[in-house]
């Protein structure tokens, strides 16, 4: 499925490059030109892919919109649009016009590999729309930063989250927290998403701030309200006065907890790590909460998939110290492949750059629709099926065809921590119980649905 680089000066099939523009070549020049999609194709992409993504909600998912779009078949429309672009342009990178400027869409595995290999200084994470949305809730977060300050913030995140270690040094403490909190989840035969979400929020508070914050639901109410406001970040000019007040209240609360937090908590580790004042060590916690809270949806989907795949669930108990946590982590990774937390990886070019011999100006956005690609059976065999064993193959975690945590310099620094937390919540639930059913009902013999609305998930548990 890899394609050759475009020849200098050549026009690819379907090339409709305008005759004007910074990347356009003079007659006789040997500079290759970008492929620009026709206006109708850009419009189709906006209607079937980008607008639904905003409607679903980033960073706070709107369950109602997810249900409506799922029932209307939106994931299929989006996949059909991307497939049509790939077919028409023979897999080559294609520029689409949009409200925030040009976006170069990458659909070929070789381009995706290149995307992950490029340095973040050149292909930066702080794309315009992403920054507008996230700056409401984490204006000093690493994702919203660039240049030297971004590198310092990333270094702090790497240190606190132990990105380069096999296991987080505090993972023993975090496992105990998860075990304590999960006891309340198995008291009845039915587990609702609301109960799971409340429990995960308590776990997040204890991991980030310690036991002192276990019952601080007010903090979470502010964080959730900020995320909801972040959904409108693209169409508003900065945060509202209420949003500013909430951000200040939540940040002040974090500063109250920070001096008393045990050294094993994330905020304690941030406090004890040397860094410049501009880095805003405490401010990084807004993203840690956002990420840790996503564990509720990941666990709900993983358990629902295991309910629909009883052989996979039974295999977790084929070891003496059941459930098998390595296998459970593979189940979580497979769930994330099918239902990624970040389905679109968006970057921005910080300098004029060439991509496979074709020049693009600084400011061009670059998009890898990884949610589509990692489910595409042409690239990933059995793409729409739940097959966790694929994650146990040598090197699967570094295979750029699948990227639930991204790859390269922009890879999630909390990848191991997030995976551990999600697998551990599942393990606690499956230690003495089996998931025997759930809603919505999934058919394991058919391609899995494109969306699984987490708040609508209900699980049936039976004592084993
Ligand atoms: C639970 C599963 C998780 C998933 C699926 C996940 C996924 C991702 C992905 C795909 C990115 C890259 C986004 C992009 O390129 O636009 C990312 C970035 C990031 N994640 Fe995670 N994440 C998870 C958990 C965590 C946890 C637990 C933390 C911290 C407590 C965390 C902290 C971060 C940070 C700070 C970044 C920004 C990195 C940067 O800008 O260089 N994540 N995550």
Q: What is residue 114's predicted lDDT score, i.e. its pLDDT? A: 98
Mutate-to-test residue for ligand 1 from 291, 298, 400, 419, highest number of ligand atoms within 8 A of CB: 291
**Residue 284 pLDDT > 80, yes or no?**
yes
Q: 1 or 292, which is more confident?
A: 292
To the nearest 10°, the Cα dihedral for 43, 45, 50, 53? 130
State whether the beta carbon of 315 lies less than 6 angstroms from ligand 1: no
**Residue 23 pLDDT > 90, yes or no?**
no
**Residue 306 pLDDT > 60, yes or no?**
yes
Q: How far is the CA of 404 from the centre of ligand 1 (A)?
A: 9
Q: Is residue 345 part of a domain?
A: yes
Residue with the nearest Cα to atom 32 of ligand 1? Answer: 414
Is the model's pTM score more than 0.85? yes
Look up the CATH number of the domain holding residue 438: 1.10.630.10
Q: Is residue 16 part of a domain?
A: no
Q: Is residue 6 part of a domain?
A: no
Q: What is the mean pLDDT of the chain?
A: 93
Residue with the nearest Cα to atom 26 of ligand 1? Answer: 414
Is residue 92 within 8 A of residue 35, CB to CB? The reply is yes
Q: Is residue 7 part of a domain?
A: no
State whether the beta carbon of 412 lies less than 6 angstroms from ligand 1: yes
How far is it, in rounded angstroms, from Cα 181 to Cα 273? 28
Q: What is residue 38's predicted lDDT score, i.e. its pLDDT? A: 97
State whether the beta carbon of 283 lies less than 6 angstroms from ligand 1: no
Quick one: pLDDT band at residue 299, thresholds 50, 70, 90?
very high
pLDDT above 70 covers what percent of the chain? 93
**Tell me: the pLDDT tens digits for 85-102?**
999 999 999 999 998 899
Mean pLDDT of 373-379: 97
How far is it, in rounded angstroms, from Cα 26 to Cα 150? 38
Q: Is residue 270 part of a domain?
A: yes
Size (the chain), residues: 464
**Residue 453 pLDDT > 90, yes or no?**
yes
Mutate-to-test residue for ligand 1 from 412, 420, 424, highest number of ligand atoms within 8 A of CB: 412
- In sequence order, the β-bridge partners of residue 94 are 35, 105
Q: What is residue 29's predicted lDDT score, i.e. its pLDDT? A: 52
Mutate-to-test residue for ligand 1 from 204, 284, 414, 423, highest number of ligand atoms within 8 A of CB: 414
**Residue 9 pLDDT > 50, yes or no?**
no
Q: Is residue 11 part of a domain?
A: no
User: Which range (11-25, 283-297, 299-313, 329-343) has the least confidence?
Assistant: 11-25
Is residue 412 within 8 A of residue 333, CB to CB? The reply is no
- Helical ranges in 13-93 per DSSP H: 39-45, 51-56, 63-72, 74-88
How far is it, in rounded angstroms, from Cα 157 to Cα 129? 23
Which ligand 1 atom lies nearest to the CA of residue 370? 10
Q: Is residue 246 part of a domain?
A: yes
Strands 458-463 and 433-439: antiparallel
**Residue 30 pLDDT > 90, yes or no?**
no
Q: Which structural domain range is residue 324 located in?
A: 35-463
Q: What is residue 213's predicted lDDT score, i.e. its pLDDT? A: 98
Q: Is residue 425 part of a domain?
A: yes
User: Which range (28-32, 64-68, 436-440) has the least confidence?
Assistant: 28-32
**Tell me: the pLDDT tens digits for 329-343?**
999 999 999 999 999
Mean pLDDT of 421-443: 97
Q: How far is the CA of 367 from the centre of ligand 1 (A)?
A: 17
Q: What is residue 237's predicted lDDT score, i.e. its pLDDT? A: 84
**Residue 21 pLDDT > 90, yes or no?**
no
State whether the beta carbon of 345 lies less than 6 angstroms from ligand 1: yes
Is residue 375 within 8 A of residue 383, CB to CB? The reply is yes
Q: How far is the CA of 95 from the centre of ligand 1 (A)?
A: 27
State whether the beta carbon of 94 lies less than 6 angstroms from ligand 1: no
Q: How many domains does the chain have?
A: 1
Question: How is 304-316 classified by DSSP, letter by letter?
Answer: HHHHH-HHHHHHT
């Amino acid at each position: 499925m890899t394609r050759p680089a475009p020849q200098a000066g050549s026009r690819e099939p379907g090339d409709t490059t305008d005759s004007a523009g910074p990347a356009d070549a003079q007659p006789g020049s040997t500079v290759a030109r970008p492929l620009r999609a026709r206006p109708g194709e850009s419009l189709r992409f906006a209607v079937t892919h980008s607008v639904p993504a905003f409607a679903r909600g980033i960073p706070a998912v709107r369950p109602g919109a997810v249900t409506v779009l799922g029932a209307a078949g939106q994931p299929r429309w989006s996949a059909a649009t991307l497939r049509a672009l790939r077919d028409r342009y023979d897999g080559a990178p294609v520029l689409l016009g949009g409200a925030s400027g040009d976006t170069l869409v990458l659909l070929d595995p070789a381009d995706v590999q290149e995307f992950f290999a490029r340095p973040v200084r050149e292909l930066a994470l702080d794309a315009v729309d992403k920054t507008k949305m996230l700056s409401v809730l984490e204006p000093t977060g690493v994702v919203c930063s660039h240049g030297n300050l971004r590198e310092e913030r990333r270094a702090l995140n790497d240190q606190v989250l132990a990105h380069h270690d096999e296991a987080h040094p505090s993972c023993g403490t975090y496992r105990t927290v998860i075990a304590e909190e999960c006891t309340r989840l198995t008291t009845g035969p039915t587990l609702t998403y609301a109960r799971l979400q409340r429990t995960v929020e308590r776990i997040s508070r204890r991991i980030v701030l310690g036991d002192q914050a276990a019952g601080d639901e007010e903090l979470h109410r502010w964080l959730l309200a900020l995320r909801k406001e972040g959904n409108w970040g693209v169409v508003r000019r900065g945060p509202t006065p209420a949003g500013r007040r909430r951000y200040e209240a939540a940040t002040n609360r974090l500063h109250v907890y920070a001096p008393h937090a045990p050294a094993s908590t994330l905020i304690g580790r941030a406090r004890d790590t040397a860094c410049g004042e501009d880095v805003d060590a405490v401010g990084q916690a807004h993203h840690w909460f956002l990420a840790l809270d996503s564990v509720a949806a990941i666990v709900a989907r993983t358990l629902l998939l295991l309910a629909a795949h009883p052989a996979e669930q039974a295999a977790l108990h084929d070891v003496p110290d059941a459930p098998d946590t390595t296998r459970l982590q593979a189940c979580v990774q497979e769930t994330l492949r099918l239902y990624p937390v970040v389905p679109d990886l968006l970057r921005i070019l910080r300098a004029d750059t060439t991509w496979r011999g074709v020049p693009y100006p600084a400011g061009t956005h670059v998009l890898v629709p990884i949610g589509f690609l990692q489910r595409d059976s042409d690239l990933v065999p059995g793409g729409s099926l739940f097959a966790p064993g694929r994650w146990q193959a040598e090197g699967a975690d570094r295979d750029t065809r699948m990227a639930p945590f991204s790859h390269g310099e922009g890879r999630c620094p909390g990848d191991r921590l997030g995976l551990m937390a999600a697998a551990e919540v599942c393990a606690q639930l499956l230690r003495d119980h089996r998931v025997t059913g759930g809603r919505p009902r999934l058919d394991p013999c058919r391609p899995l649905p494109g969306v699984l609305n987490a708040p609508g998930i209900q699980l049936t548990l039976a004592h084993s």
